[in-house]
Amino acid sequence: MSEELQKIFYPKSIAIIGASSKKKTLGHELVRNLLNFGYEGKIFPVNPKAEFVHSIKAYKSLADIHDDIDLVIIMVAKQFVIQAIEDCHRKKIKSVILITAGFKETGEEGEELEEQLIKKINEYKIRLVGPNCMGLINTKPGVNMNCTFVQGEPHRGGIGFISQSGALGAAVLKIIKKFDIGLSQFISIGNKADISENTILEYWKNNSDIKVITLYLESLSDSRKFMTIAKETSKIKPIIAIKAAKTTAGMKAASSHTGALASTDTIVNAIFEQSGVIRVDSTEQMFDLAKSFDRTFIPMGNRLGILTNAGGPAILTVDEAEKSGLIIPTLEENTIKSISEFASPEASLHNPVDLLPAANAEAYGKATEIMLQDNNIDALIVILGPPLMYDTIEIGKYVCEAANKFNKTAIFVFMSQDENISELSKLLEVHPPIFNSPESAARVIGEMHKYKLIKEKISPEESIESIIKETSKQKVSDILNRHKGKGEFYLDFDDIYEILSAYELPIVESLTAKDTKTSVDYAEKVGFPVVIKSVGKELLHKSDAGGVILDIKNKDELIQAENKVISNLKEKNLDKKLEGFLIQPYIKGGIETILGVIKDKSAGHLIMFGLGGVLVEIFKDVKFRLHPLSSADIKSLYQDIKGYEILKGVRGNLPVNFKYLEENLTKLSNLINDFPEFTEIDFNPFILKPEKENCKILDARMKIRI
């Protein structure tokens, strides 16, 4: 496979079927761009009517070319595409970029054409980019290929960029020089009929030309595969992604809390978090971050130094830095002393160091060097406010040259002087990232530091082992077998109780009584105070209908309570559906959490954990992780919610039993592994306390499709 991709990204010769001598056509523009950027390989325009295209001899058909061809670009009208693929096959060509649009993005007819196309390329073992894409760029000297129809000279660097949207790709290409975004390779993947983001990620994973990967996606081609590849890749180099969400609404028809909380967006977040992908909201954020990974070092810690010639911008930088998890440490005494030797007497020498507008290039350069040597800081932002009397470019040059001497994170900010960014970057080929706003610089350093921490935590593709006995599995298997062929439905409480007991998931002791005498016996058995809950296949929302009464202290109260429930149900005409009462001990205190599972159509099972109770709908303080869980996933499920602070104990409370929580997460993951038939599970509330034996699931719902 890699050979075909190699020929796509590093071709030694390219044939363009649909190259055109007619100005203002895509087939004309693309060839011109190849020529203008100085492609170092052979170009063969193919056009039955033209003799030459941009002074290059044109061929009537692919068959007429007798040289070796690495890559074919197809940009003929859609009705001729299949023919062109046939031609490629005849020439034994395996690498194709299909620019032409009009496929599945345009409706039914196009969809059929795309299916036909996919059949052909599978048959011919052709690897194909597109259709409906805008091509590819590789800036590597010796390749020098701008094989797109977007004008301009791509600016060199270490960024790989995959775009599912042509327009967004074009927009980025328009600004890369201006904002000093150094591109290594760019690919527009269009409809992803064959080559998808996963193919490219895998290909770029060990490609040393690519230092950092950026992605614009509208859909994930295969979320499981994405997660596997992204996990391996982001251990090696950062991946930054925009995933545009087409809908923010929760999954429809989900009646469990877990289901209601699982939106397309939360699932994408889970996938990205689990695989170490950094999610951003805009192309601006994406490339600010990417160019920093490309041009400077990942900070070893979160201590930020700031050098400036004006107070206001420095204050904004400190604000943003603190929001981004950075701290502004005190500088070493030596640093302050050294800077004081040349700074103006009115300069402020404590971090942020303010040299005042009087600072010239030499002072800026010296201060940059001195600060980068300070052991109290891990990263440095140098801000140059709009100049009054000095040559800004010269100051920039001194700062960048100073920064180049150290292996420490550094960003230089030309405040509000965009035009200087490209000028300086032209002047000094190697330089730290240059920004136009100091707040973005602070945000970026915060993100880079977060990546450092995430990278260390990404778990290998191991999933936790099963801790369930064979006999337990057999018990659950027996229960589920009883329901074979029923379709998708909610299990009744008796089944749930048996299943959870078999897997030692701590469902609260529960006895179902059909009459008052048994109720009293059972209550005495579990011990007062007790809770009673109405039971009936058609009584799903128990508490809404007044079917639950808590804290019943004795026999008399119990009898009263049951009568009360019956009269509540009668009011709502539900009393006929009552089949009995569940008797459970009344559990006081502890922390209400929720533990659940949802099965998403494309991503499969996800496990959710978070704070429960009335809060779950409001604060949505929950995390999702794709099943199967690794041990790192289990930890992040409870450590990455805000409520972790509460679980750890506030106001002198002891922490809940985390070991036991982990054990239960493991057992739930094991259950899904053993029985993928489960489609929705809610343990809500799952009460956590410091003592293992007091942690209890007070209510549970389970849905299966069988």
Residues 593-612 that bind a copy of itself (CB under 8 A): none
- The first and second tokens of residue 442, run together, are 């602070």
Contact between 640 and a copy of itself by CB under 8 A: the answer reads no
Minimum gap (Å) between residue 675 Cβ and a copy of itself? 30
Q: What is the CA radius of gyration of the chain?
A: 32
Contacts of 295 (CB under 8 A, 6+ apart): 157, 182, 431, 432, 433
What does residue 153 show for φ and ψ, rounded to 5 degrees? -100, 105
Query: How many helices and strands, by DSSP H and E, does the chain display?
Result: 24, 30
**Binding segment toward a copy of itself, per CB under 8 A, in 64-72, 395-403, 446-454, 617-625:** 617-625
Contact between 421 and a copy of itself by CB under 8 A: the answer reads no
Q: Which of 163, 266, 368, 636 binds a copy of itself (CB under 8 A)?
A: 163
Minimum gap (Å) between residue 120 Cβ and a copy of itself? 23
Q: Is 232 left (phi over 0), alpha (psi -120 to 50) or beta?
A: alpha
Minimum gap (Å) between residue 614 Cβ and a copy of itself? 5
Contact between 253 and a copy of itself by CB under 8 A: the answer reads no
Q: Which of residues 452-511 bind a copy of itself (CB under 8 A)?
A: none
In our burial notation (b when 16+ CB lie closer than 10 A, e otherwise), range 589-621 reads ebbbbbbbbbbbeebbbbbbbbbbeeebeeeeb
Based on CB atoms, which residue is closest to a copy of itself, 232 or 320? 320
Q: Which of 56, 315, 526, 706 binds a copy of itself (CB under 8 A)?
A: 315
Minimum gap (Å) between residue 475 Cβ and a copy of itself? 33
Contact between 164 and a copy of itself by CB under 8 A: the answer reads yes
Based on CB atoms, which residue is closest to a copy of itself, 310 or 697? 310
Contact between 26 and a copy of itself by CB under 8 A: the answer reads yes
Contacts of 109 (CB under 8 A, 6+ apart): none
Considering all CA atoms of the chain, what is the largest pairwise distance in Å, rounded to the nearest integer?
102
Residue 469's SS3 state is coil
Minimum gap (Å) between residue 259 Cβ and a copy of itself? 16
Minimum gap (Å) between residue 207 Cβ and a copy of itself? 25
What does residue 340 show for φ and ψ, rounded to 5 degrees? -60, -25
Based on CB atoms, which residue is closest to a copy of itself, 351 or 630? 351
Q: Which of residues 179-238 bind a copy of itself (CB under 8 A)?
A: 216, 218
| Residues paired with residue 427 on neighbouring β-strands, in sequence order | none
**Binding segment toward a copy of itself, per CB under 8 A, in 66-74, 316-324, 661-669, 692-700:** 316-324
Sheet holding 71-74, edge to edge: 42-46, 13-17, 71-74, 95-98, 127-129
Contacts of 59 (CB under 8 A, 6+ apart): 15, 44, 45, 46, 47, 65
Minimum gap (Å) between residue 106 Cβ and a copy of itself? 5
d(Cα 375, Cα 365) in Å, to the nearest integer? 18
Task: Decide if 687 contacts 614 (C-beta within 8 A).
Answer: no
Contact between 47 and a copy of itself by CB under 8 A: the answer reads no
Q: Which of 40, 68, 112, 319 binds a copy of itself (CB under 8 A)?
A: 319
Contact between 527 and a copy of itself by CB under 8 A: the answer reads no
Minimum gap (Å) between residue 387 Cβ and a copy of itself? 9
Minimum gap (Å) between residue 562 Cβ and a copy of itself? 20
Minimum gap (Å) between residue 166 Cβ and a copy of itself? 7
d(Cα 701, Cα 542) in Å, to the nearest integer? 12
- The first and second tokens of residue 344, run together, are 């103006």
Q: Which of residues 358-377 bind a copy of itself (CB under 8 A)?
A: none
Sheet holding 379-384, edge to edge: 353-354, 304-308, 379-384, 409-414, 434-435
Based on CB atoms, which residue is closest to a copy of itself, 196 or 309? 309
Task: Decide if 342 contacts 355 (C-beta within 8 A).
Answer: no
Sheet holding 278-279, edge to edge: 145-148, 135-138, 183-188, 156-163, 212-217, 239-243, 278-279
**Binding segment toward a copy of itself, per CB under 8 A, in 46-54, 564-572, 641-649, 698-706:** 641-649
Based on CB atoms, which residue is closest to a copy of itself, 59 or 586? 586
d(Cα 133, Cα 152) in Å, to the nearest integer? 18
Contacts of 12 (CB under 8 A, 6+ apart): 41, 42, 68, 70
Q: Which of 35, 56, 82, 170 binds a copy of itself (CB under 8 A)?
A: 170
**Binding segment toward a copy of itself, per CB under 8 A, in 384-392, 494-502, 515-523, 556-564:** 384-392
Contact between 288 and a copy of itself by CB under 8 A: the answer reads no
**Binding segment toward a copy of itself, per CB under 8 A, in 266-274, 276-284, 424-432, 593-601:** 276-284
Minimum gap (Å) between residue 334 Cβ and a copy of itself? 23
**Binding segment toward a copy of itself, per CB under 8 A, in 268-276, 278-286, 333-341, 626-634:** 278-286
Residue 176's SS3 state is coil
Based on CB atoms, which residue is closest to a copy of itself, 147 or 173? 173
| Residues paired with residue 534 on neighbouring β-strands, in sequence order | 581
Q: Which of 305, 313, 396, 536 binds a copy of itself (CB under 8 A)?
A: 313
Contact between 301 and a copy of itself by CB under 8 A: the answer reads no
Contact between 389 and a copy of itself by CB under 8 A: the answer reads yes
d(Cα 360, Cα 165) in Å, to the nearest integer? 45
Contact between 178 and a copy of itself by CB under 8 A: the answer reads yes
- State in Å, rounded, how far the first CA of the chain is from the last one: 39
Q: Which of 77, 650, 659, 693 binds a copy of itself (CB under 8 A)?
A: 650
Q: Which of 494, 521, 544, 640 binds a copy of itself (CB under 8 A)?
A: 544
CA dihedral angle for residue 349, residue 352, residue 357, residue 361, rounded to 10 degrees: 80
Contact between 548 and a copy of itself by CB under 8 A: the answer reads no
Contact between 571 and a copy of itself by CB under 8 A: the answer reads no
Give the count of residues interacting with a copy of itself (CB under 8 A). 71
Q: Which of 33, 437, 534, 684 binds a copy of itself (CB under 8 A)?
A: 437
Contact between 425 and a copy of itself by CB under 8 A: the answer reads no
CA dihedral angle for residue 282, residue 284, residue 285, residue 286, rounded to 10 degrees: 80
**Binding segment toward a copy of itself, per CB under 8 A, in 53-61, 272-280, 380-388, 596-604:** 380-388
Task: Decide if 167 contacts 193 (C-beta within 8 A).
Answer: no
Q: Which of residues 330-349 bind a copy of itself (CB under 8 A)?
A: 346
